[in-house]
A and B are shown apart, each in its own frame.
Chain A
Amino acid sequence: MLNHILFNLIQVLVVMAFAPLASGVTTRLKEMIQSKRGPGIFQPYRDLWKLFHKDEIVSEDSSWIFRFTPYIVFVTPIFVTLLIPVLTNYPLFFAFMGDMLGAGFILALGGFFATLAAIDTANPYGPVGASRTRMVGFLAEPVFMIVFFTVSFVAGSTIPYIVQEKWVTPLANFFLPSHVLLVLAFLMLILAEGGRIPVDNPTGHFELAMIDESRFLEYSGRGFALMKWGGQMKFFVLMIVFLNVLLTPWGLAGDQTLSAVLLAIPFVLFKIFCFLLVLVVIESSLSKLRLFRIAEFLGAAFITSVAAMIMQVFLP
């Protein structure tokens, strides 16, 4: 019992500690592909450190929503971390609180508040970004639903710990068409939800073209640091769900010992590194879609997920 709580806390710490690193590694890898000499992989930490020590300026026309949002955005990925298998393949202390659907809702809550906060100040770019994020969100939502439904059809459950076991016992299940198609659909979702390149450019600095970033334009100091860190953790959590639950449910701690859990950390980080390599290749080889083509991109994700559903439900 007690060590379950401890492991849960370790999970949270891992996510909090390595989320900025993942962001830094992505940027560095991209720069290497583009033959640039950019900042090192620890730059996100320095950014956060600097932001925490800066003054925060809050518009006097804004309401409490604006002030609370950074905390919500920061806390929601941490809550999700309590529910999902980050390091262990057995449920931990808080895992009873929700399934994958619940995790999705909690993440959506953070996004919802970020959107509210964006329109809370009178900054003209905020609402533009907010409405665009909503558009992406609305289009992504059905895909999430279909993915979860299909998962529950396969595994008979939406608890991530049950799902991840189902894909690999027996190993032939890994090649089930529904599994592979779900992985594809979920990959497209991560790109859309994480604001990655075919949908949104995370490193863009042009306000009119921003989707995700423009919601944070009004923040400064500690609020901005929290928002940024929260965003990095959200992406990290999405990757963890993708890798540990759907794609590669190996390398997690099976034993209830501290050493096993600690040993799982490098494994998970290695998986994430590999995934980031793939992600960077995807991002470097694609260009950002025009805004109204995003519907087609997510339409493709939807079709893929429904194809997975068809293969699972209707076929022998």
Chain B
Amino acid sequence: MSVIIVLLLPLVAAALVCIPFKKYWASGVTVVSSLATLILAARVAWLVSDGNSVTADLSVGWLKWVAVDGLSALILLLIAFVAATAAIFSVGYMAHGNLQPGKLRLYYINYNLFVFSMLAIPVLAEPTLVWMVVELTTLCSALLVSFENTREALEAAWKYVVLSLMGAGMALFGFLVLFAAMQASGSDDDYTWTNLIAAAPAMPPVLLQTAFLLILIGLGTKVGLVPMHTWLPDAHSQAPSPVCALLSGIETTSILYVILRLFPVMQAAPNSHAETWALVLGLISVGAAAFLLLQVKDYKRMFAFSTVEHMGIILTAVGLGASVAGYGAMQQIVSHCVTKSFCFFAAGTVLLAVETRQIASVRGLILQAPIAGAALVFGGLAIAGAPPMAVFLSEFSILKAGLTQKHYVATGLLAIFIVIAFFGVMLHVNRMVFGAPDSSGDASSPQRKNGSTLQRFNASTLPFSCRLALILAAVPVLVLGFYIPQPLHNLLTQAAAALTR
């Protein structure tokens, strides 16, 4: 039952936010509801990690489409976590812009609906319904991307909507073909993930392959896999920073989760090349993103490209062999979610401090805004995969799995790309944080020549909620680097098991 409550909470919050009330009503409601969601989601994850079923009481009527296993619980937990920290971060971040109360309410309504649509993805077990909520995530977040209403934001939102929905059209056809494949196998069961796996051996391989490719490309557009990634850096950089954290941190991951759901189905079918496809697309994404990272001009875009890289790494990991690298892939999902959301909080803090997105205009941040600078360094190191952090551990375990599987070429390429990406991220972060002030950024921002405007915002004026969100988000980034709690380990193991037949 708690699963249903998890789904209902953001909806209730969205309805409550509609009521015009005091200044902090909308943000307060959102924070409370997302914290409650987090607690409930954690409980669900806990129960699932102990091997209990949380959906036993939901077998009647339309509720039979709700099912939670290890993988779902993991994604659910991550969504709830990022949604909660982002809600806390929003309080200070959005208060900064002196928005109209109506506009702010609109933000929170969309925020809650967006969170709802994402929470529904892992919980639903019916592929076409999952498709529907995936589309809902696009639609709910489109107005968040265009929230700042500038020319760039509108362009980003429009690109985002058009490309994502184009992918969604293909994916819809893919899901319908998958259903046809299931019927062709003679199965009369409901169309759910588990029944799909059961019916897979008897499905016509042509239909299965077609469905897989359509869904991989269609949803891959929304994940940001490389040939289809063009919208991602735009949308993920133009949205307000807390929304970026949601988009980059968990939206991509939760869509990738839908693709991952297909792998056990494909493994059941004779000589499907699902893993090869995943490996190729994943490596292309990692490689392209690594090189693009070297030449970004905008630090939010930098983190967006890093998202493309991480999605590629996860897909590559699955391609290397879900049975061996599955645990690493799941670990990577977790570390990506917590780290990337932190990174965008850091980027948001920097944006509040310096009011520009250009890397070239920001120098010597550590002196002018120590908290923002420190956060950026920490986030940069963490997302690039420096040793004591979560991403390092997960990338290491993926590479190790790749080597034990004797995929030397692919693993070698992956390692090289990761190093290049590391170099790219740290190059920019280093310049921004430690570079000498007023050296090269003058040309594009002459009004900041003497650095006096930079003093306007410093650590003392950074809202408390932003600092709290930074700290909350930093904890798992650091902790998961050297210690994985037992329940989480169980959950990861179960999730990895869900990737194989």
A/B contact in complex, CB under 8 angstroms: no
